[in-house]
Amino acid sequence: MRFTKMHGVGNDFLIFDPGEVEGEDLAGLARRSCERHFGVGADGILIPARSESADLRMIYLNSDGSEAEMCGNGIRCLARYARDYELVEFPEGGELTVETGSGIKAISVFEDGSSRVDMGPPVVDSGLSLAGHDFHRVSMGNPHAVAFLDSDEAVDGVDLPGIGPRMEHDPAFPAGTNVEFIHVRDGHDLRMRIWERGAGETLASGTGSCAVAVAAIHLGLAKSPVEVELDGGVVRVEWAGGPEPVYMTGPAEYVCEGELLTPDVDEHPQEQSQDQGGH
């Protein structure tokens, strides 16, 4: 079973061709292939499928096998993959449309493989206090709980493995939630860490970056555009406020290609990867 591994600012994914996974238990495949000791290792799997309403449909499963409505870093990787592997006609300067669980997203892919994604309008909900912090709820098609801290050191010192699972599964979030801690350095610069629903702590999150920028702009703590620094790198978020869409710009990079062995071949899935040098 062939795969391509990519990442967006450290948020890593395994991309499988639909023909490779036809008839497979995708939840089981995600858990097996994303495991970082006995599998390839990734935050989730991506499958570019046919769509009746867009150029492609993105199927995305977290590393725990749960399906997510949307993945901002993942959709950038999928867009570059679709262009480079010529999955669809991709006119120069044109936009790729991708059907997701939170609607159709339009992506402009640049020459260097980075892209700008129309993430759609956000929904800013009421706040709540949990686990000793005040959280602001934002939906980017998937749920987010954002807490503001007063320094980078405070963000870096948060016990995400302790707080994250409690927040993710708190009854206040029946469908679970992503959890972000941020520090607003100035009006255009944020520092963020995230606990992702279904994946745990990750180096980056595209929807999370959008959610924290929206929360900061909504509260008057920042102004568009906002540079969001994550453990894996930086993405740029733009939002004019109100019902306007959020735009996210960031990189998508190749890691390797390989072959995932099936369980009946080997007790533990392994990879046979070959560095592609940026493809």
Q: Above 60 in pLDDT, residue 70? A: yes
Report the number of distinct structural domains present in the chain.
Answer: 2
pLDDT in tens, 232-253: 999 999 999 999 999 999 999 9
The model's pTM is 0.90
- In the chain, DSSP assigns E strands to 2-8, 11-15, 44-49, 56-62, 95-100, 103-109, 115-118, 123-130, 133-139, 143-148, 178-186, 189-196, 200-202, 226-230, 233-239, 246-250, 253-259, 274-275
Burial class of residue 60, CB neighbours in 10 A (0-12, 13-18, 19+): buried
Distance CA 158, CA 195 (A): 11
pLDDT in tens, 160-186: 999 999 999 999 999 999 999 999 999
Distance CA 138, CA 192 (A): 15
HSE-up (13 A, CA, CB side) for residue 199: 27
Instruction: For CA atoms 24, 27, 33, 38, give the dihedral sign.
Output: negative
Answer yes or no: do 60 and 151 share one domain: no
Q: Name 186's bridge partners.
A: 189
Q: Above 60 in pLDDT, residue 159? A: yes
Answer yes or no: do 46 and 145 share one domain: no
Distance CA 159, CA 124 (A): 25
Average pLDDT, the chain: 93
Question: How big is the CA angle at 155 (ends 149 and 160), to the nearest 5 degrees?
Answer: 115
At 76, give phi and psi (nearest 5°): -70, -40
Answer yes or no: do 153 and 210 share one domain: yes
Answer yes or no: do 153 and 107 share one domain: no
- What was the pLDDT predicted at 90? 79
The region of weakest confidence among 84-93, 144-153, 203-212 is: 84-93
Answer yes or no: do 151 and 107 share one domain: no
Domain range holding 199?
Answer: 123-245
Distance CA 28, CA 72 (A): 23
pLDDT in tens, 91-100: 666 799 999 9
Answer yes or no: do 67 and 134 share one domain: no
Question: Amino acid letter at 10?
Answer: G
Answer yes or no: do 232 and 256 share one domain: no
CATH number for the domain that contains residue 182: 3.10.310.10
Answer yes or no: do 148 and 256 share one domain: no
Query: By the 8 A CB rule, do 55 and 97 touch?
Result: yes
What would the mean pLDDT of 201-207 be, rounded to a whole number?
97
Cβ atoms < 10 Å from Cβ of 52: 6
pLDDT exceeding 90 applies to what percent of the chain?
90
Answer yes or no: do 141 and 241 share one domain: yes
Answer yes or no: do 52 and 166 share one domain: no
Answer yes or no: do 139 and 90 share one domain: no
Question: Amino acid letter at 201?
Answer: E
Q: State the DSSP H helix or E strand holding residue 42, giving kind and residue range, or none if neither.
A: none
Task: List for the chain the helix, strand, coil content (%; round to 5).
Answer: 20, 40, 40
Answer yes or no: do 239 and 256 share one domain: no
- Determine the 3-state secondary structure of 72 from DSSP: helix
Q: Above 80 in pLDDT, residue 269? A: no
Question: Amino acid letter at 142?
Answer: N
